[in-house]
Amino acid sequence: MRFVDEFRDSKTARAIAERITRISTKPAQFMEFCGSHTHALLRFGIRDMLPPAVSMRSGPGCPVCVTSTHDIDRAIAISRMPGVTVATYGDLVRVPGSRSSLEYARASGADVRVVYSALDALALAEANPSTDLVLVGIGFETTAPTIAASVVQAMRKEVNNYRVLSLLKRTPPVMEALLSLGEIKIDGILCPGHVSVITGMEPYAAIPSRFGVGCVVSGFEPLDILRAIEILAQQCEAGTPDVANAYERAVSIAGNRVAQDLMNEVFSPCAAEWRGLGQVKDSGLSFNPQYANFDATTRYAPEVAPAEDPSGCRCGDVLRGSCLPEDCTLFREACTPQRPIGPCMVSHEGACAAYFAYSTHT
């Protein structure tokens, strides 16, 4: 038996889904913050197992999706500078900027590489000392410590041609910004599992009392998610929102202190721009002064015009949970994975891509 099989057992899943149906007497709307949760909800068909009273909305937890058009334009501008190699993660290469994408920049001569980790990007810098390697660093608290580690290592090894364009984001400030907005009714949050491995449970502590919304940390397997939704449903029915950990095998109360220290050593919170939410205070990570040499923005200050999001694209609304992908008129018609208009259709963690790929409701 494979390790994951015990978390994908269909009998247990049905039993939990039946319990959720039994306890849900009134309509409840939960937000899965993380794109990987949206993906799992659709890939495993979990949405179809839930009772009609329980609905799920996607949140802003997809690092590719929340990266603003303006920041994409900056990354493209850097990729076109002479002597620069740009490295980035996964599907960011395909996200449309205002006039191009890193994928098109690569096709027209820019050196753009896809890497799996920041340490691979650092290795590329070491192997090609005559070029300047710029890692377009996107991601949340899950990715930030590994990028910080690559910077610390670059400093120690005196790798002088390694730089990071930090588009990193912090989860707690944006969760609060979203709840403060009060745009849609949220009865509970399915909190991101991987992020919580690093941050621990503390960031969620104030949310239940401040916003009357429960926070349950969930893993990414079907039984993890169903169990977390069951706890949210119980809290919601009882009117007792609380913080709970339904991913005990990976998440501790304190989180990963080593990773947190590493992140704080290299970065400090700063304001950051989010697609769909605009500027959010303290929600980004910028370089501490002693690491300024590794900051791509110190060395390259690409002048790019302010950018608007593509016309008609509702990625911003999708990321705030104020609509479902299917509510966007571009969805599946003008906007497809082959010709994506917004990032939520590009990224594998994007809500639109997940609905496009898996949803049989058409």
> Where do contacts with other proteins occur on this chain (CB under 8 A)?
2-4, 8, 10, 13-14, 36, 42-46, 48-49, 63-64, 69, 87, 89-94, 96, 98-101, 103-104, 106-108, 113-116, 120-121, 123-124, 138-140, 142-143, 194, 222, 307-311, 336-338, 341, 348-349, 356-360
Q: How far is the CB of 209 from other proteins (least distance, A)?
A: 29
Q: How many CB atoms lie within 10 A of CB 254?
A: 11
Burial 176-189 (b: 16+ CB within 10 A, else e): bbbbeeeeeebbbb
Closest to other proteins by CB, 73 or 295: 73
Query: Letter for the amino acid at 260?
Result: Q
- Complex with other proteins: residue 280 or 354, whichever CB lies closer: 354
Q: Exposed e or buried b for every residue in 92-112, given b needs 16+ CB within 10 A?
A: bbbbbbbebbbbbbbeeebeb
Query: Where do we find the tokens 């704080």?
Result: 264
- For the bound state, the minimum distance from the C-beta of residue 154 to other proteins, rounded and expressed in Å, comes to 16
Residue 220 CB, shortest distance to other proteins, in Å, is: 10
As a whole number of Å, the CA-based R_g of the chain is 20
In this complex, which beta carbon is closest to other proteins, that of residue 115 or of residue 179?
115
Judged by beta carbon, residue 51 or residue 288, the one nearer other proteins is 51
CA atoms within 13 A on the CB side of 309: 21
Q: How far apart are CA 27 and CA 234, in angstroms?
A: 13
Specify the residue, 76 or 236, whose C-beta has the smaller distance to other proteins: 76
Of 156 and 361, CB closest to other proteins: 361
Shortest Å distance, C-beta 22 to other proteins: 19
- 8 Å CB contact between 78 and 137: no
Q: How far is the CB of 263 from other proteins (least distance, A)?
A: 15
Nearer to other proteins, 92 or 213 (CB): 92
How many other CB atoms are there within 10 angstroms of residue 209's CB atom?
A: 11
Which residues, including other chains, have CB under 8 Å from residue 156's CB and lie 6 or more apart? none
Q: Shortest Cβ distance from residue 230 to other proteins (Å)?
A: 15
Place of tokens 């494979």: 2
Q: Which DSSP string do the residues of 12-61 spell out, in sequence order?
A: HHHHHHHHHHHH--S-EEEEEEEHHHHHHHHHTTGGGGS-TTEEEEEEEE
- Residue 227 CB, shortest distance to other proteins, in Å, is 14
Going by their DSSP bridges, the two strands 267-274 and 278-287 should be labelled as antiparallel
Task: Return the SS3 of 268.
Answer: strand
Distance of closest approach, residue 170 Cβ to other proteins, in angstroms: 14
Q: Residue 309 gets which letter from DSSP? A: P
**Which C-beta is closer to other proteins: that of 270 or that of 334?**
334
Smaller CB separation from other proteins, 236 or 251? 251
Minimum distance of other proteins from residue 91's CB (angstroms): 5
